[in-house]
Structure formats: C-alpha cells, structure tokens
Amino acid sequence: MFVRPRPPFSQIIQGRGKSQVFVNLLFKPPFDRRLFALKLHTVVRFQSTHTKHLLNMATSKTIHLTPDDTGVFKFGSQDSETAKKTSELLQENHDKHHIFFNNTGFHNHIAHHLLTLYGLGAPASVIERQYKLNASYQRPVVLSTNQAPVDMSIPDNFHNHLGKQKYYHDFLVFWQREIETKGWKDVLKERVFAGDAKADDMLGRMFAGFLHPLIHLGFGIEFNQPAIIAEALAQASVHDQWITQYLLDVEKNAQPGNKTIPQLLDEIRGDKKLSTAAEWDDGNKIRDGILARARGEMINYASQWTVGKGELEAKTAQMINSAIYFTAAAQRPPKQVKFDFYFMHCVNSSIFFTSFKNQDFLSEAQKGRLLEWKGRLDLIMYASRRSPELLLEEISGYVPKLLEAGDAEWRGLFQRLFEFEDDGHAVKLGRAVAHAEVVSQGYEDQDWAKIKGFMWLKVGNMVADSVEDTGDTWARSVGFDEAWKDYVDRPRQVHL
C-alpha cells in the first residue's frame, strides 16, 4: 500500500511573520504507518485465538490483563507490572463501585479511562494516579444494604426492573452468571443481537445515555474482558430505552442509496424546521427537541444512510471519519477552540467498530445493522445541538500551541493527555482520533473523507490544546449561541 509522505511541519503550520523560525518537525508518528496498519489487522485477524487464551484467566467476575492485550490501537508496549496493577484497579472498581456516581445518572468512567491509558502504553504510576482521582467520588456498587437482592433470572423481575439504576448490582450478578454459563459471545448473540423484540430492547439501551453502554461494551470486547462485558450489560439494563423506537422507526423507513453522512449533515443543517427544532431549555435535546418537534424530518434523513452488502468496511471508515469531522469542525471563531461534549461521545464510541466488525460470532447483517444504528444516532446527535456550521478550515488552518519537537506529534500528545486530570474523556478522544487516521487510509479520495493527511495531527493538537486551555473543558450544544458565551476569544494570529 502506497503511503503518501507528509510535508515538513514547517509547511503545515501557519507562520507568524518573517521572523518566525520554523521547526523542521516532520509530521510522522513514532512508527511506520504501513507496519502499524499491518499490525492492526494482524491483531484483529488472530483475535479469536487470543481471546480463547485470555478467557482461561479473565472471567465474568475477574479482570485479567496481559502485557500483550492492549486493544486494537497499540501505541507503545506494556509490562507485567502495569498489567497486574491495572487489573487490580479495574477489579476494585468492578467489585466496589456503582456504574453511576450520582442519582442524576452521571457515569462511572473508570474502566474506560484505565483501559485507554493501558492500551496507549501509560505506566502503572499514571494509571494508579488517575484511578485514585476518580475513585474518590464513586458510590458503592450496592446502594442499599436493606434491599434484598432481586433474582433477575425470573423474567418478570428482569422486565420490571429495567431502567432503574438502583438495581445495577442485581443486573450485574445476573449477567455474570449468564456469561459464566453460556460464554459472553453466546450471551450477546441471544440477548442483544438476536433481532427479536427483547434483544432489540437491549440493543437500543446500548445507545442510551449518550452511548455509554455501547462504549463500555466496546471496551469489554476490545480488551477481551468478560467482567467488563457484564458491566456493560448491567449498565444497559438500568438505562432507559426511548431512543430505541427512533432507531426502529428509521430502520422501517430505510431507503437504500448512496447518501453519505457528510451529505446528510449538510441537508439537516439546511432544513430549518429540523435544524432549529431543539431549544436551549429542552431537558433532553434529542427527546424533547428533535423527536418532539421534527420526528418525521429526522427519520427521513437518517433513513437515507444504509449499509449494503459488501459495504461494511468502507461504511465503518465513513462513520468514523464523519464523527470526527462534525466534532472537530463545529467551532465558533473567534472563540477559543473547544469540542462539544455530546459530539465527543460519537467519536469516542467510533473506535469500537473496528472490533465489532471483526467479531466472528456476529453475522455480516448484524454488524451492518449495528453500524447503521450508530450512524443514525450520530445524525440525530448533530441535529440536537442546533446543527452547527462545520468549518473545515478551522482544522486545516489550526496552529498547534506547542511547537517543540515531539510535543505536537502523537507521542507527545498522548503524554500530555496522560497527565490531564479528568475522567478519561480527553485521552479517549485522542486515542479515537489517532485510530481513525489508520482506519481512513485508502479512502482519502472519497468525497466523504473530510479529514485526511496532515489534518489528523491538527485534530489531535486541537484536542490536547483545547482541554488544557482555560474555561470549561467541553462546550455543550455548540450550535447554540449560549454554549459559547463564557468562552474567551482566541489570540489573533498572522496567517501565511
């Protein structure tokens, strides 16, 4: 595969006058891209054998990582000490902490954070420090010691307690037993991907809560951890399912064709009824905005994105590339660069579709359906934030804040994100963007491939720079003027 060489860094960054001393920093990561792409596919190709080996140690109740088990995007190596420490911390989180850290339903991101750090080669000291930071505010896994455990193997009990967060631990015990008895692949085939009403209910719940259950499931599958998969199923069980009907209605109205996600984003923005359906004061801008005021219009556009036979590989790349496009390009100059909190979850969940599409227990049709639901969720997420204008020049013309050798390349960016103190969203976003660069190779000549070439590291720098900048880490609902009112204007820059 031919890989076009990158231009020197001095040709990519924007200058600051004749006195600017350009750093001759080549935009190349610390690995050969051709070998990296080959390595990615090699990991995937032998995943079933690797999984069988790991399942002899990792169980539905026990976390066990090895130095070789670092996910689909391996960056750097791991050692047995870090594997042991990360496993211990994940086990403590599994045994002690609820999936929500408050009654409002804010998610426990510890598993996401630690596995991302581990996969990127972070040392044990960083992983432990970030764990302690976020473990400090978690709730106990059992919310009430006075409450008798509920046996969720009784169908009525299972059905009657769906969507109720205080029963997370009861559902966790149920899913642990199911996986222990049947194996996680058969459990997912039967309870999530079977295509009947009960499975569709659970599949829809995976897309609830801004994709958090799906993200959790993705980590469990990617890192071959049945206990994390059990957490994901329990998490989905205590989420609501109103988004499911939207996804099913879109599916019923599907219109096979060649529309791409970027085309549909443009059409959604151009539809004034739909693009302005969400209001700032809506409690949930998807449910109370788009689906309440422009349901038919939304279904019409979303139903035009389909995955046909033989399209899984290309449409996966399209979804991943497009999620980063509408997330990174939704800026509001001259305001400082910030990423939308809700769009960011569309990107952070996209990385797992590399794992999903390579699972041998799922049929091609099941994989295609899962991908369709993700693309259609992304479209309604975009509409729900008032369909912001997408400014590609905000990416192509971006000037990284740090220009010293290494700071603006992937290794330096990851080191900065390792140290950033949050709940893991930032480093997950960085990993997902770097992964997307690899997945998008070979598709740069496609009209839908909006992010390409040197733009990938531009986005990576935007991520690190924006979270380190002043103000709230994430903007929320960036199509609204109100989302930007507390952010300052960026410094003026001289362009070449």
**pLDDT score at 196:** 98
- Lowest-confidence segment of 15-19, 132-136, 286-290 by average pLDDT: 15-19
In terms of Cβ atoms closer than 10 Å to its own Cβ (0-12, 13-18, 19+), residue 398 is buried
Rounded Cα distance, 471 and 336, in Å = 9
- Tens of pLDDT, residues 13-53: 333 333 333 233 333 333 333 333 333 333 333 344 444 44
Share of the chain above pLDDT 70, in %: 88
Six token digits for residue 432 = 């997902």
Share of the chain above pLDDT 90, in %: 83
**pLDDT score at 148:** 82
CA distances from residue 85 to 47, 79, 195, 395 in whole angstroms, order as listed: 24, 10, 39, 38
**pLDDT score at 3:** 37
CA distances from residue 367 to 42, 213, 251, 322 in whole angstroms, order as listed: 20, 17, 14, 19
**pLDDT score at 492:** 74
**pLDDT score at 246:** 99
**pLDDT score at 227:** 99
What is residue 143's three-state secondary structure? coil
76: pLDDT strictly greater than 90: no
Kindly tell me the sign of the dihedral angle through the C-alpha atoms of 374, 376, 377, 383.
positive
CB 416 within 8 A of CB 467: no
CB 28 within 8 A of CB 408: no
- Tens of pLDDT, residues 119-131: 999 999 999 999 9
- Tens of pLDDT, residues 147-157: 788 999 999 99
Q: How sure is the predictor about 285, in pLDDT bands with cuts at 50, 70 and 90?
A: very high
Q: How far is CA 359 from the centre of its chain?
A: 18
Six token digits for residue 431 = 């990993």
**pLDDT score at 404:** 80
| Domain range annotation of the chain | 59-237, 244-484
Exposure on the CB side of residue 457, measured as CA atoms within 13 A:
27
**pLDDT score at 36:** 35
Rounded Cα distance, 23 and 13, in Å = 10
Mean pLDDT of the chain: 90
71 Cβ contact list (under 8 Å, min separation 6): 115, 119, 222, 223
Q: How sure is the predictor about 437, in pLDDT bands with cuts at 50, 70 and 90?
A: very high
The average pLDDT across 458-469 equals: 98
**pLDDT score at 493:** 62
Rounded Cα distance, 346 and 356, in Å = 16
- Tens of pLDDT, residues 476-488: 999 999 999 999 9
What is residue 433's three-state secondary structure? helix
215: pLDDT strictly greater than 90: yes
Q: Which residue reads 């720079």 in tokens? A: 465
Compute how many other C-beta atoms are within 10 angstroms of the C-beta atom of residue 402.
Answer: 14
The average pLDDT across 218-234 equals: 99
**pLDDT score at 74:** 82
CB 198 within 8 A of CB 209: no
Long-range contacts of 299-302 (CB under 8 A, 24+ apart): 299/246, 299/249, 299/250, 299/253, 300/253, 301/264, 301/267, 301/268, 301/271, 301/274, 301/379, 302/250, 302/264, 302/376, 302/379, 302/380
320: pLDDT strictly greater than 60: yes
The average pLDDT across 216-242 equals: 98
Exposure on the CB side of residue 320, measured as CA atoms within 13 A:
29
CB 378 within 8 A of CB 346: yes
